[in-house]
Amino acid sequence: MNSGFKGVWQTPTLRKLVAARFISNLGNGLGPIAIPFGVLGLPHGTPTALSMVWLSTMLPLSGFMLIGGVIGDKFPRAQMVGGTDILLGFLVLANGLALITGHGSVLIFIVVGAISGFLNAIWYPSMGALTTDLADEKILQESNSAIGLASHIALIIGSSIGGVLVATFGAGWAIAIDGLTFLTAGLIVFSLRKHTPVAKPASESTLREIKNGWREFTSHKWIVAIVSASTILYACERSIYSIIGPLVAKENLGGPKPWALILAIWSIGSVLGVLVAGKVKPKYPIRFALMMQFPSVLWALALGNTDSILLIAMASFSLGIAMDLFYVFWVTTIQQHVAKDSLSKVLAYDAWGSMALAPLIMGIAGPITEHFGTKATLNAISIICLFTLLMPFSVKEVRDIQASS
């Protein structure tokens, strides 16, 4: 099989997977704009209400992630990814139609968020391992990069039109379109179920499989160290992305259009990040990727201390590059160093660990910001991120883990 993106393009199943991620992320580009401004535009849409909406999503997502990892190793992953996308599509579409018809409410957002969190707990570990079912190991990193590239090009498009859609037609239409993209992507991925391994017989209980996944997860000190740091970083970044950032945009930047621009610039940086990741093969990928995460500090500082959309966009651009460099090297290294029959479970612990603090932090981010203001909150987050990024370098395995040849 040819190497590089050419090899990915010449594999029909990978082409379909890349297409599905592109379509789904067109909608995902709308969500971070439509959901916050949709909630904040409701009669009781306060920052605290927005926190509750995201809390309703994150609690089941983190709570059921380990079970999702077991499911991802027991059943055909294309069936799990495609099926959950289809269900998510109907759910999100219904929420959008409720807003369009004047029946939207914070409660509906919370219910939809809770069910979405449960479905995504199955989706994340299954999707993380699906690439290994479809890609030759020689083009695994390139496959991850191609999926990332397609995803972020779609996010650029989605984010670019998201602000205009929300400002012109309302958040309901943007959310409804998001639902349609979920449905379309789900049908494409579901068609790949014949190309992925068949379901395994249930030889062990779910609890024992969770324990086996924990044993495999903790046997890699470098994974534990990075996930421990990611627990804090993810919670901080998600709070900014989903709650504090839209509040800054509403109060200081002019509303959804500038926030959409900032997110689009982030996605442009992400495209550059995955392009670089597809070409660069560092000997010590985790050490390299971790060093690329420091722009997260700059992003929080920029949002908290300037009203300049240009400076905030530049910080977003650098963070987009950094996060996707990290993601490609991180996932590829895990895929190379963890046994395939345990991969979904380990990725589930990775996702679960990374999201462990997110429900708490996102649940209190709105009330804290209401009390202390956006500037003080964002400055505190930047200091927390800085110290958190330094922590994993104290672990020898983080510094020494090498890419497979």
| pLDDT score at 2 | 40
Indicate the domain borders of the chain: 4-400
| The CATH classification of domain 4-400, taken from the options 3.30.450.40, 1.20.1250.20, 3.30.1490.190, 2.40.160.100 | 1.20.1250.20
> Of 278, 289, 379, 301, whose CA–CA distance to 327 is shortest?
289
| pLDDT score at 96 | 93
- Percentages (nearest 5) of helix, strand, coil residues in the chain: 85, 0, 15
| pLDDT score at 1 | 40
| pLDDT score at 135 | 64
| pLDDT score at 184 | 92
Predicted confidence (pLDDT) at residue 390 exceeds the cutoff of 60: yes
Q: What is the mean pLDDT of the chain?
A: 81
Residue 145 neighbours by CB under 8 Å, 6+ apart: 5, 274, 275, 277, 278, 328
Give, in degrees to the nearest 5, the angle at Cα 136 between 135 and 137. 110
Residue 314 neighbours by CB under 8 Å, 6+ apart: 265, 302
Res. 183 pLDDT band, cuts 50 70 90? very high
Res. 91 pLDDT band, cuts 50 70 90? very high
> Of 186, 226, 256, 220, whose CA–CA distance to 21 is shortest?
186
pLDDT in tens, 288-336: 877 777 777 888 888 888 888 889 888 889 888 888 788 778 878 887 7
| pLDDT score at 42 | 86
| pLDDT score at 110 | 92
Predicted confidence (pLDDT) at residue 259 exceeds the cutoff of 60: yes
Residue 387 neighbours by CB under 8 Å, 6+ apart: none
- Of the listed ranges 189-193, 244-248, 396-400, the one predicted with least confidence: 396-400
> Of 345, 403, 341, 349, whose CA–CA distance to 133 is shortest?
341
pTM over 0.85: no
Q: Is the dihedral of CA 315, 318, 324, 330 positive or negative?
A: negative
What is the mean predicted confidence (pLDDT) over 217-225?
Answer: 81
